[in-house]
């Protein structure tokens, strides 16, 4: 089975500050920092204690920053790190990487200050990061000529379009801005399906083989040749455009079954002694749970849609991002692929926080308390990640190589 190599980078050196010697350093670290800061601020806004003076609903800000800010940084860090390995090219580093990071950061600040900045300034700041990221990745990907990897370029383009939809909604009143957030969420989930489908079974097979317990992943051809990605993309778009409709519910239920079957063939239960592996299986399990809950929302009025959305965002996106970043950062900094107990605690806290947030809207009398508890645990997980990985991102590689 094809893999995305995350352990053996091919950096050839770069001038400038060490922090900008490789894409994973600034983007992985600040994805964690944003997650650790964003949730406490959102909880304060949700409780009515803080007013960001936004010209749109604060839920739009929360959803936007979860998807375009947090996930956008993680995606950038991952692709900037993986593409050089896929294409055997020199990674983006130094001043170009500084520029790209500055554009991402400017977008975060500008969107949060939408209430005081002119709309054109917000739009320019927010919509600059993704095109520049795509341009930096396009040349090596297109030159390599492998469609399985160039697929990320149109996904990034659609991600930018979704961001534009959000901005058109909040500043021009052109439709519901949350539809742009939901479409972007579906695109992030498609990326998880693509990347997860490559790395989770491959890493599992390799580790079990090293443990003297070789296994084979019996792949189902049509699922691995586009069915998995198409099921999430179609279901996600229908859920965003015609929410709670019968057709969306059926598509979501079909997608949930497809990914449950896919996950069941990856031997996840055999990885329970290896946290850096089981966290990836757990992140994919949250995808199945979220799709199933979102399908049920189309047929059961009593099930709030926020339960499903948090299973997909805080659960699947949050857990997969944490698992991939914690693994990739170790591999690309020349360190053993063994996580500390603190990192394992972060893995547990992300899912525990998600579980409370999923349950919260179902328990009306305790909704506020469960929401704050879940959000606090989720934010604490990312605080632990930043604590453990700050030195990893800011110090030289342990093996003395550049990058």
How do residues 275-326 score in pLDDT, each as one tens digit? Answer: 999 999 999 999 999 999 999 999 988 788 999 999 999 999 999 999 999 9
Do the beta carbons of residue 158 and residue 187 sit within 8 Å?
yes
pLDDT of residue 161: 98
Q: Is the pLDDT of residue 14 over 70?
A: no
pLDDT of residue 127: 98
The token pair at 159 is 């991600």
- 345 Rama sector, left if φ>0, alpha if ψ -120 to 50, beta otherwise: alpha
How many independent structural domains does the chain possess?
1
Do the beta carbons of residue 228 and residue 262 sit within 8 Å?
yes
Q: Confirm whether 2 is domain-assigned.
A: no
The model's pTM is 0.94
Q: What is the pLDDT of residues 320-361, one digit of tens each?
A: 999 999 999 999 999 999 999 999 999 999 999 999 999 999
- Give the Cα-Cα-Cα angle 288, 290, 293 (nearest 5 degrees): 110
Q: Confirm whether 12 is domain-assigned.
A: no
Q: How many CA atoms lie within 13 A of 267 on its CB side?
A: 20
Which residue in 84, 327, 326, 87 sits closest to 203, CA to CA? 327
Q: Confirm whether 149 is domain-assigned.
A: yes
Distance in angstroms (rounded) separating the CA atoms of residues 41 and 22: 30
Distance in angstroms (rounded) separating the CA atoms of residues 118 and 108: 15
The answer for residues whose C-beta is within 8 angstroms of residue 3's C-beta and 6 or more apart is: 198, 199, 202, 203
Q: What is the pLDDT of residues 69-112, one digit of tens each?
A: 999 999 999 999 999 999 999 999 999 999 999 999 999 999 99
Name the band, by pLDDT with cuts 50, 70 and 90, for residue 15: low
The answer for residues whose C-beta is within 8 angstroms of residue 255's C-beta and 6 or more apart is: 231, 232, 234, 235, 291, 295
Q: Confirm whether 400 is domain-assigned.
A: no
Name the band, by pLDDT with cuts 50, 70 and 90, for residue 217: confident
Can you give the residue range of the structural domain that contains 141?
18-394
Do the beta carbons of residue 324 and residue 382 sit within 8 Å?
no
Rounded mean pLDDT of 368-390?
Answer: 97
Distance in angstroms (rounded) separating the CA atoms of residues 330 and 339: 8
Which residue in 76, 64, 75 sits closest to 38, CA to CA? 64
Rounded mean pLDDT of 153-180?
Answer: 95
Mean pLDDT, the chain, whole residue set: 93
Q: Confirm whether 1 is domain-assigned.
A: no
pLDDT of residue 13: 46
Q: Confirm whether 401 is domain-assigned.
A: no
Rounded mean pLDDT of 214-240?
Answer: 93
Q: Is the pLDDT of residue 168 over 50?
A: yes
The answer for residues whose C-beta is within 8 angstroms of residue 27's C-beta and 6 or more apart is: 73, 74, 76, 77, 80, 101, 104
CATH number at 110 reads 1.20.210.10
Rounded mean pLDDT of 241-246?
Answer: 92
3-state SS, one letter per residue, for the chain: CCCCCCCCCCCCCCCCCHHHCCCHHHHHHHHHHHHHHHHHHHHHHHCCCCCCCCCCCHHHHHHHHHHHHHHHHHHHHHHHHHHHHHHCCCCCCCHHHHHHHHHHHHHHHHHHCCCCCCHHHHHHHHCCHHHHHHHHHHHHHHHHCCHHHHCHHHHHHHHHHHHHHHHHHHHHCCCCHHHHHHHHHHHHHHHHHHHHHHHHHHHHHHHHHHCCCCCCCCCCHHHHHHHHHHHHHHHHHHHHHCCCCHHHHHHHHHHHHHHHHHHHCCCHHHHCCCHHHHHHHHHHHHHHHHHHHHHHHCCCCCCCHHHHHHHHHHHHHHHHHHHHHHHHHHHHCCCCCCCCHHHHHHHHHHHHHHHHHHHHHHCHHHHHHHHHHHHHHHHHHHHHHHHHHHHHHHCCCCCCCCC
């Amino acid at each position: 089975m094809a893999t995305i190599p995350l352990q053996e980078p091919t950096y050839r050196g770069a001038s400038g500050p060490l922090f900008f010697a490789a894409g994973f350093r600034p983007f992985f670290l600040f994805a964690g920092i944003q997650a650790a800061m964003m949730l406490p601020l959102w909880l304060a806004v949700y409780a009515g204690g803080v007013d960001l003076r936004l010209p749109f609903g604060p839920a739009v800000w929360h959803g936007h920053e979860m998807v375009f800010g947090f996930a956008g940084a993680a995606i950038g860090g991952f692709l900037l790190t993986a593409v050089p390995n896929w294409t055997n090219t020199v990674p983006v580093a130094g001043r170009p990487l500084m520029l790209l990071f500055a554009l991402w950061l400017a977008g975060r600040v500008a969107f949060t200050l939408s209430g005081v900045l002119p709309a054109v300034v917000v739009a320019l700041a927010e919509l600059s990061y993704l095109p520049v990221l795509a341009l930096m990745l396009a040349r090596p990907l297109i030159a390599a000529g492998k469609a399985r990897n160039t697929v990320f370029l149109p996904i990034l383009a659609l991600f930018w379009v979704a961001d534009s939809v959000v901005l058109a909604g909040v500043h021009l009143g052109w439709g519901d801005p949350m539809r742009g957030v939901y479409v972007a969420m579906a695109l992030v989930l498609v990326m998880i399906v693509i990347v997860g489908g490559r790395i989770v079974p491959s890493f599992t097979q390799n580790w079990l083989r090293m443990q003297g317990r070789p296994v084979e992943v019996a792949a189902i051809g049509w699922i691995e040749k586009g069915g998995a990605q198409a099921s999430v993309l179609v279901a996600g778009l229908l859920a965003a455009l015609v929410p709670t409709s019968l057709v969306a519910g059926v598509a979501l239920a079909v997608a949930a079954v497809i990914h449950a079957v896919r996950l069941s063939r990856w031997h996840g239960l055999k990885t329970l002694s290896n946290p850096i592996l089981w966290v990836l299986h757990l992140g994919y399990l949250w995808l199945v749970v979220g799709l199933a809950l979102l399908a049920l929302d189309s047929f059961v009025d009593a099930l709030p849609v926020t339960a499903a959305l948090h299973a997909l965002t805080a659960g699947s996106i949050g857990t997969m991002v944490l698992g991939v970043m914690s693994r990739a950062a170790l591999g690309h900094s020349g360190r053993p692929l063994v996580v500390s107990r603190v990192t394992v605690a972060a893995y547990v806290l992300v899912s525990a926080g998600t579980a409370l947030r999923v349950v919260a809207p179902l328990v009306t009398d305790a909704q506020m308390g469960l929401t704050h508890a879940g959000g606090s645990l989720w934010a604490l997980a990312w605080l632990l990640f930043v604590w453990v990985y700050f030195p990893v991102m800011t110090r030289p590689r342990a093996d003395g190589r550049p990058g």
